């Protein structure tokens, strides 16, 4: 990542410039890692909520599957009674 401006005249200036570039890149990487961690926590939370909703939907399906035959049977018995 070259910097604009004149080239450093001495090795010391060149090393300082490299050190500054690496420091800037390090800050960017740390910021990206921090943001990634925040988003990972949020995604895991949303996945947990989605699994709860999915589990609730499955429970509802099983509940309806259990109740429906009883209703059909009661309707059939009701139609047979005088």
pTM summary value: 0.49
Instruction: Write down the pLDDT at residue 80.
Output: 73
Is the four-CA dihedral 28, 34, 35, 37 of positive or negative sign? Answer: positive
d(CA 16, CA 9): 11
Highest mean pLDDT among 8-17, 21-30, 61-70: 21-30
The string of DSSP letters for the chain reads -PPSSPPPSSHHHHHHHHHHHHHHHHHHHHHHHHHHHHHHHHHHHHHHHHHHHHHHHHHHHHHHHHHHHHHHHHHHHHHH--
Taking 70 as the threshold, does the pLDDT of residue 49 lie above it?
yes
Q: Which of 3-7, 38-42, 51-55 has the lowest mean pLDDT?
A: 3-7
Taking 90 as the threshold, does the pLDDT of residue 25 lie above it?
yes
């Amino acid at each position: 990542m070259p910097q604009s401006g004149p080239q450093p005249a001495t090795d010391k200036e060149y090393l300082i410039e490299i050190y500054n570039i690496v420091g800037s890149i390090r800050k960017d990487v740390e910021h990206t890692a921090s943001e990634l961690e925040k988003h990972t926590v949020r995604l895991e939370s949303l996945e947990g909520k989605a699994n709860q909703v999915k589990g609730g939907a499955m429970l509802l399906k099983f509940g309806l599957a259990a109740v429906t035959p009883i209703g059909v049977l009661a309707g059939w018995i009701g139609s047979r009674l005088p």
